[in-house]
Structure 1
Amino acid sequence: MSDLPRKAVTRTAKLAALPLGFAGRATWGLGKRIGGRSAELVAREVQQRTADQLFKTLGELKGGAMKLGQALSVFESALPEEVAGPYRAALTKLQEAAPPLPAHTVHGVLAERIGEDWREYFLEFEDKPSAAASIGQVHRGVWHDGREVAVKVQYPGAGEALLSDLTQLSRFARLLGPLIPGMDIKPLIKEMRDRVSEELDYELEAQAQRVHATEFADDPDVVIPGVVHQSDQVLVTEWMDGIPLADVIADGTAEQRDRAGQLLARFLFSGPARTGLLHADPHPGNFRLLPEEEGASAGAWRLGVLDFGTVDRLPGGLPGTIGESLRMTLEGDAAAVYGLLREEGFVKESIELEPDEVLDYLLPIIEPAQVEEFTFSRGWLRDQAARIADPRSPAHQLGRQLNLPPSYLLIHRVTLSTIGVLCQLGAAVRLRDELEAWLPGFVAETEEPEPVAEDGV
C-alpha cells in the first residue's frame, strides 16, 4: 500500500546515481569553460545543478536520505559564500517540505493503526499534509473534543527505507565530505543508523514529548505541544502555529533573530537539566517563533519546539566534564584542561599532545562563551571550519589526534547543529548567561569555609 519508493534496488539506484551525476556535471562544466564561458559563472551553474539534484533526490526518497539532508542543512553556514549561495534555497526547501504521500495511503495507515472508525476521532481532517519529515508527514485536524491537532503518520516501510538509505549513503560518504568542510560525515551516518529503532517508535517519542510538555507547561519562553493520542505509526499532538524558524532565518527582523537565538540556546542547555533528555534534532523545521502571551512585555516571543523522535537520555543532565573543561579553558588552565580531556578519553592514552597547543585549538571555538554577548555569523563559522579543515594548519593536525568518546557523539552533533542554526540566524546571544544557569561544572563550586573551633584553635 506504500507509495514510498522503498524497494532496495530502486532506492539504491537513485542514491548510486548521485556521485555519477556529480562527475557528469564536472565534465559538463569543463566543456563550457573550453567553450569560452567564465570559470566563475560555470562553477556557480554546476553548484546550482548539483544542489538541485542532491536535495531533490534526498527529499523524494524521504527516509534516511532526507534525514541526512536535514542534518547537513544546518551546516550550510560553514560553506564559503560562493558555494553556499546556490545551496541555500534547496536546503531551506528540504527543511520544510518533501513530496507528500497520497491521501489513500494516509487513510490506510490511519485505518490500520487507529481503527476503521478513525474518522470518528476527528471533527476535521485535512488530506493535504502541512509538513513532511524524514519518516512521516503531518496533517492538520480537529480532535473530537475540539482541539486543533497535528497528526503525524509514519510512512509505510519507513524502517526498511531508513536502513537501506543509510547503508548506501555510507558507501559514498567521502564524496559528500566537501559539502561540509572539517566534518566527517561517515560517523554521522553511523550514529543515525544506530538510532533508527528509536526514531521509528512513536511510543518513545510520545513519552519524551510528554516529559517536556509537563516540565515546560508554565514556562514563559518555551512551548511544547501536548500529546493527544499515540498508536503504532500514528502520533497526534496539539497543533502549534507560529513562524517557522526557516522563515525567521530568511526574512526575520533583528529582534526576532536575536530572541529566537537566545531561546534556542536556552532550550539546548536547560532541557537536559530539567528533563534528563536532550532534543537531538535541532534543524529549523522543528522550531517555531510564537507571539508573546497576552500581558507579556513587548517583544517577548516564545520558542515552540516540535519532534521528539530523537533524544539523548541524560539522567544527570549534560556531563559535568563539558562545563568543567569549558571553564578551565576560559581560565587558561592548559594543564587542567588537558588532564580532564585525557581522563574522559578525548585524548587517547597512546597519544601525547602539548597542553598549550590543545588550549590554542579550543579557544577560538569557545569564543561565544568568552564575552557577555556574541553575534553568531556565517563568517565566523566559515573561519572556524576553514581553520580545522585546512590540512596545513596546526589546528587540523591537532584535531586529527583528538578522539570523540561514543557517549559524547550525539551531544557533540546537537551542539554543532545548534551553533549552525544560530549562525544562520545571525543572532546576538548572551550564551554565557545560559551556560552559567544550566551547564553543570561551568560555574566553579564555592568551597565551604572550614568550621572554626570554639576555643579558636
Structure 2
Amino acid sequence: MTDIPRRAVSRTAKLASLPLGFAGRTVLGFGKRVTGMATDVISAEIQERTAEQLFSVLGQLKGGAMKLGQALSVFEAALPDALAEPYREALTKLQEAAPPLPAATVHKVLAEQLGSDWRTLFREFDDVPAAAASIGQVHKAVWKVPRKRTGVPVAVKIQYPGAGDALIADLTQLSRLAGLFKVIQPGLDVKPLVTELRARVVEELDYELEAASQRAFAAAYAGDEEILVPQVLAAAPRVLVTEWVEGTPLSKIIGSGTVAQRDRAGALMATLHFSAPERAGLLHADPHPGNYRLLPDDRLAVIDFGAVARLPQGLPEPVGRITRLALAGRADEVLKGLQGEGFVRPNADIDAQAVLDYVRPMLEPLAVDEFRFTRAWLREEAARLASPRSPAYTLGRQLNLPPSYLMIHRVTLGSIGVLCQLEAKAHYRAILERWLPGFADPTD
C-alpha cells in the first residue's frame, strides 16, 4: 500500500468516527445560533462543542473535506463570530500544505505523464512543492522556450497518485453532513447538490479537461485590462503546466488587505462571475479566496479551472429579467417568471406579494448604485431565511431550485460569501447592467 492510499484510509476512518447523529445535531446547532434561538432547544455550550468537533475533524482532512469546506465557504461569513472563528481555522488547515509527495514519486508521475525525457522540457524544476491542493500539489519551475535564454516561470500541478479514489470515498462519507446546506436555504433539496458536487469533482480529476477550460478562459480574456488568466503550456491527464502568477491571494487581502484592495478585488470578482458566461461560455465554479490573486497592476488573476459550468448560451436571460422586475416591485410578473422557470411549483398556492417580499431583501446590493457587502448583512439574510419565526422561512420551503440553476445558485452563493469576507464596496448594479442578460431596462 502506497502512502497516498494509506492517507485515504486514515481520512475515511476519521470521517466515519463522527457519531451517526452528528449531522443532525450540527444543523440544529448552526440553525439555532444563526437565528438567535439557541436557548430554545440546545445550550450554547453543547452547540459550540459540537461545531468545534466538526471543524476539528475537517481540519485534519484534505480531499473531499476541502471540497466540501470550499462549497460551504458562505457559512464562514454568515455565522456569528463565536462559530465563524473555528470555521476559519478549519479552512486554513485544509488549505495549508499537505505532507508533500517524495521527490521520487513526483518524478515518476512526471515521467508517466510527460515522457521519460520530461526534464528536457524545463530549465529548472523545484522538487519542494510551492503549494498543496485537495487532489495534488504545485511545483514552481522554469519552462524552456526555443531561442529564449530565460524561459518562462511556470506552475506545475501534479495529481496525487490514488487521489481520485480517495476523493470519492471522502465525499461518500461527507454526504452525511449535507444537511448543513439547509441552514442557508431551508427549501433546498440537498441530494441533487451533493450529486452535482461529486460530478464536478470527478471532472476536476481530468487535468486535460481543466486545460481546455483554462485555454477557453485565457482566449476570452486575452489582453484584458481587468482579468488575467495564465496560459496553459502543457497538459496530461494528471499533470498541468501553466504560467506562474505572482500576486496577493484574496485570503491575505481578507485578513489584512487595505480597503482599496478589498473593494477592487470584489469588483473584479463580480465582473468575472457575470462576464465569463458571455465571453467564454463558461462560469468559474470554484469561488474561494485561494483561487484569486490581486496583481500589482490591480488586475485579478484567476487560477484553477478544474470546476466550471458550461453555459454556451451565457447566463439565462430570465435571471436578469426577473431580478429587474423584482427591483421595480412588479410582484405579479415576478411570480409568473419564477413559475415559468420552475422556482415555484405549478400547483403551489403562493401570494405574489409574499414572493416579492421574500426575494427583495436579497437584491439590496442591486437596488443602489454602490453597495458594500458585509458579514453583518449576510448574517441578517441568513437569519431571515432560516428562522422558523420568519415568514421567509415558511415561504422558502415552498420554493424549488430547478436542476438547471443548481450550479449557478451554488457558485453565486459562494461568490457572495467571499464578497462579504472582503467587505467589498463596488458598483455591482452597473456590472450586472453590462453583463447579465435581461437585467438592463429595455426602455433605456
TM-score above 0.5, yes or no: yes
Distance 2:103 2:115 in 1: 16
- In structure 2, the residue matched to 1:140 is 140
Matched pairs, number: 421
1:422 aligns with 2:426: no
- In structure 2, the residue matched to 1:53 is 57
Q: CA deviation at 1:41?
A: 7.8
The correspondence for 2:213, drawn from 208, 211, 227, is 208
Q: CA deviation at 1:172?
A: 3.9
- In structure 1, the residue matched to 2:39 is none
Alignment check: 8 A CA contact 1:77 1:424 kept: yes
- Aligned-residue sequence identity (percent) comes to 60
- In structure 1, the residue matched to 2:103 is 103
Question: What are the Cα deviations for residues 287-329 of structure 1, in whole angstroms up to 9, with x where unaligned?
Answer: 001011xxxxxxxx11000011111111111000100010000
1:207 is aligned with what amino acid? A
- In structure 2, the residue matched to 1:314 is 311
Give the alignment of 1:258-273 within 5 angstroms: 258-273=263-278
Distance 1:126 1:69 in 2: 29
Alignment check: 8 A CA contact 2:77 2:84 kept: yes
- In structure 1, the residue matched to 2:193 is 188
Distance 2:44 2:392 in 1: 30
1:17 is aligned with what amino acid? S
Distance 1:225 1:73 in 2: 25
Alignment check: 8 A CA contact 2:140 2:156 kept: yes
Q: CA deviation at 1:121?
A: 1.2
1:224 aligns with 2:229: yes
- In structure 2, the residue matched to 1:29 is none
Give the alignment of 1:287-306 within 5 angstroms: 287-292=292-297, 301-306=298-303
Alignment check: 8 A CA contact 2:294 2:300 kept: yes
Give the alignment of 1:21-420 within 5 angstroms: 47-48=51-52, 50-56=54-60, 58-59=61-62, 62=63, 64-95=64-95, 97-145=97-145, 146-174=151-179, 176=180, 182=186, 186-292=191-297, 301-420=298-417
- In structure 2, the residue matched to 1:453 is none
1:432 aligns with 2:429: yes
Q: CA deviation at 1:94?
A: 2.4
- In structure 1, the residue matched to 2:34 is none
Alignment check: 8 A CA contact 2:59 2:89 kept: no
Distance 1:313 1:337 in 2: 26
Q: TM-score, normalised by structure 1?
A: 0.86
Distance 2:182 2:354 in 1: 27
Q: CA deviation at 1:77?
A: 0.4
More divergent stretch after superposition (88-97 vs 409-418): 88-97
2:197 is aligned with what amino acid? M
Distance 2:144 2:164 in 1: 31
More divergent stretch after superposition (369-378 vs 123-132): 123-132
Q: Secondary structure at the match of 1:230?
A: strand
In structure 2, the CA distance between the partners of 1:405 and 1:445, relative to structure 1 (3 Å rule), is same
Distance 2:86 2:244 in 1: 33
Q: CA deviation at 1:406?
A: 0.6
Q: CA deviation at 1:47?
A: 4.7
Distance 1:432 1:98 in 2: 40
Q: Secondary structure at the match of 1:360?
A: helix
Alignment check: 8 A CA contact 1:75 1:417 kept: no
Q: CA deviation at 1:186?
A: 4.5
Question: What are the Cα deviations for residues 17-42 of structure 1, in whole angstroms up to 9, with x where unaligned?
Answer: 1347969x99xxxxxxxxxxxx8788
1:13 aligns with 2:13: yes
2:278 is aligned with what amino acid? A
In structure 2, the CA distance between the partners of 1:171 and 1:53, relative to structure 1 (3 Å rule), is closer
Q: CA deviation at 1:93?
A: 3.7
Question: What are the Cα deviations for residues 365-400 of structure 1, in whole angstroms up to 9, with x where unaligned?
Answer: 111000111110111101111111112211111111
- In structure 2, the residue matched to 1:445 is 442
Q: CA deviation at 1:67?
A: 1.1
Alignment check: 8 A CA contact 1:70 1:94 kept: no
Distance 2:276 2:19 in 1: 39
Where structure 2 has 5 or more consecutive residues not aligned to the other structure, the ranges are: 27-42, 146-150
Q: CA deviation at 1:73?
A: 2.8
Q: CA deviation at 1:276?
A: 0.7
Question: What are the Cα deviations for residues 323-368 of structure 1, in whole angstroms up to 9, with x where unaligned?
Answer: 0010000010000010011011111112121110000000111110
Q: Secondary structure at the match of 2:242?
A: strand
More divergent stretch after superposition (246-255 vs 107-116): 107-116
Q: TM-score, normalised by structure 2?
A: 0.88
- In structure 2, the residue matched to 1:31 is none
1:226 is aligned with what amino acid? Q
Alignment check: 8 A CA contact 1:68 1:189 kept: no
RMSD across aligned C-alpha pairs, in angstroms? Answer: 2.5
Alignment check: 8 A CA contact 2:15 2:173 kept: yes
- In structure 1, the residue matched to 2:148 is none
In structure 2, the CA distance between the partners of 1:201 and 1:180, relative to structure 1 (3 Å rule), is same
2:313 is aligned with what amino acid? G
1:288 is aligned with what amino acid? R
1:389 is aligned with what amino acid? A
